Amino acid sequence: MRRVKLDRIDLQILQDLQEDGRITNVELARRAGISAPPCLRRVRALEESGFIKGYHADLDAEALGFEVIFFALVGLDSQSETVLNDFETLAGSWPEVRECHMARGPDDFVLRLVARNTAHENELTQRLTSAPHVVTVKTIQVIRTAKSTPGVPIDIAQGAEPASQD
């Protein structure tokens, strides 16, 4: 894709949408200091350029019966592309795996999972340890979350550097 330089208006739109994905186009335009039609065109362009990847509702896991959040640090027996891809496919197929990151360091992957209770957490951990090519699994159970902010910090005052979209 082409290189895009975001201006102050684009950054304001991104910041506002990141904070409230259900904001109306009229309110979004008002906050950005432009009228609604060009605001909608800018949002569509930001979507098409890949700056906006999607929209979602932020659900309360505990209210939906998922009382345990935990991280799993997973080590594999090989870092061949086939083994890495197979593990990513496996992790992607489990609904309890909410994030899967390949990592640099002593472990190959960091996963964020949700479980209904500690018995479910233990079941998921057992499934992980018995998965093909997995040699180590270390889990870290979350006791309390002090901050969970999706997205990235946006500094409207500073502007943005050109972003390469490949």
All domains of the chain in start order, with CATH: 8-48 (1.10.10.10), 68-141 (3.30.70.920)
pLDDT (tens digit, 9 = 90+) per residue, 51-109? 999 999 999 999 999 999 999 999 999 999 999 999 999 999 999 999 999 999 999 99
* Per-residue pLDDT, 163: 46
How far is residue 36's CA from residue 39's CA, in Å, rounded to a whole number? 5
Distance (Å) of CA 25 to CA 29, 34, 40, 77? 6, 11, 7, 50
| H-helix or E-strand spanning residue 105 | none
Does 32 have pLDDT greater than 60? Answer: yes
* Per-residue pLDDT, 156: 86
Distance (Å) of CA 50 to CA 10, 29, 44, 125? 13, 20, 10, 35
Prediction pTM value? 0.85
